[in-house]
């Protein structure tokens, strides 16, 4: 089967949602690609999304931004909420989450890396979505480094697991690890969100960019998760 630039996911009627693959190219700024080339790929992504998209500047925190217009670098934040515009989350191993309540006309994105998960970015985003009117949220957890691949020092694993119980994991080669997709999925479910984890690992699946995969000779880049009401 031919690999396309977008892997579409279902978040209900009237929602365009999906994750880009390496075929769509690197969508992250500051990784060595010409800014003009990245901008051109982002415009192609917006054509796929069917309209303007807000691209945040992610900082591994728990701040949530209410996006009202499209554009690059709209705010320093790791979660966004919108009713009028599309949203993009950029990742290369961190956990991307797309959220929507089409009946309420609200969408959201979450960039959940280790620091963001500890800082509480997931509950912060769900709270902001609910304040924006969401009642029945659906979410998809996209491609991220999995609990069998995300190796960390033992002290870090213990520290994160103490703050976010259930994140501790073990790599397939038997060393301490963190399972962030599992932690994020569980947090969303506990907050009443109907959530699906795609179960795609960026480190072992070359269809996506991977920060850790760069060590194995794969090119640097960021894929995007985009959600937009259409
Ligand atoms: Zn993996």
How does pLDDT run across 112-126, given as a tens digit for each residue? 999 999 999 999 999
User: Which pLDDT score is estimated for 40?
Assistant: 96
What distance in angstroms lies between residue 21's CA and the mean position of ligand 1's atoms? Answer: 17
Are 185 and 195 spatial neighbours (Cβ–Cβ below 8 Å)? yes
DSSP for residue 108: E
Tens digits of residue pLDDT in 58-92: 888 899 999 999 988 788 889 999 999 999 999 99
Compute, in angstroms, the gap from residue 178 CA to the centroid of ligand 1: 11
- What confidence tens digit (pLDDT) does each residue in 142-160 have? 999 999 999 999 999 999 9
Compute, in angstroms, the gap from residue 145 CA to the centroid of ligand 1.
5
For 201-205, what is the mean pLDDT? 95
Residue 1 reports pLDDT greater than 80:
no
Cα of 216 from ligand 1 centre, angstroms: 14
Query: Domain 6-142+196-229 class?
Result: alpha beta
Q: How far is the CA of 58 from the centre of ligand 1 (A)?
A: 23
CA of 175 to the centre of ligand 1 (A): 13
The domains of the chain are located at: 6-142+196-229
Give the pTM: 0.96
Whole-angstrom distance, CA of residue 227 vs CA of residue 225: 7
Cβ neighbors of 106 (< 8 A, separation 6 or more) are 81, 82, 83, 100, 129, 132, 133, 134
Binning pLDDT at 50, 70 and 90, where does residue 31 land? confident
What is the predicted pLDDT for the residue at 146? 98
For residue 117, the SS3 value is helix
């Amino acid at each position: 089967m031919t690999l396309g630039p977008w892997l579409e996911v279902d978040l209900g009627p009237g929602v365009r949602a999906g994750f880009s693959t390496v075929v769509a190219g690197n969508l992250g700024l500051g990784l060595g690609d010409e800014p003009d080339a990245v901008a051109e790929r982002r415009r192609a992504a917006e054509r796929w999304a069917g309209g303007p998209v807000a691209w945040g500047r992610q900082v591994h925190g728990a701040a949530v931004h209410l996006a009202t217009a499209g554009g690059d670098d709209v705010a320093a934040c790791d979660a966004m909420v919108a009713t009028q515009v599309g949203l993009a989350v950029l990742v290369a191993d961190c956990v991307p989450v797309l959220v929507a309540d089409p009946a309420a006309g609200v969408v959201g994105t979450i960039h959940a890396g280790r620091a963001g998960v500890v800082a509480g970015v997931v509950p912060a985003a769900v709270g902001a979505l609910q304040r924006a009117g969401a009642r029945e949220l659906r979410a998809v957890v996209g491609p991220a480094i999995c609990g069998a691949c995300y190796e960390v020092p033992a002290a870090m694993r213990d520290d994160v697991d103490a703050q976010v119980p259930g994140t501790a994991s073990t790599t397939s080669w038997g060393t301490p690890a963190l399972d962030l997709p599992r932690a994020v999925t569980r947090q969303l479910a506990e907050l009443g969100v109907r959530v699906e984890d795609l179960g795609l690992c960026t480190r072992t699946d070359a269809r996506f960019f991977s920060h850790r995969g760069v060590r194995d000779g794969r090119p640097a880049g960021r894929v995007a998760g985009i959600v937009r009401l259409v």
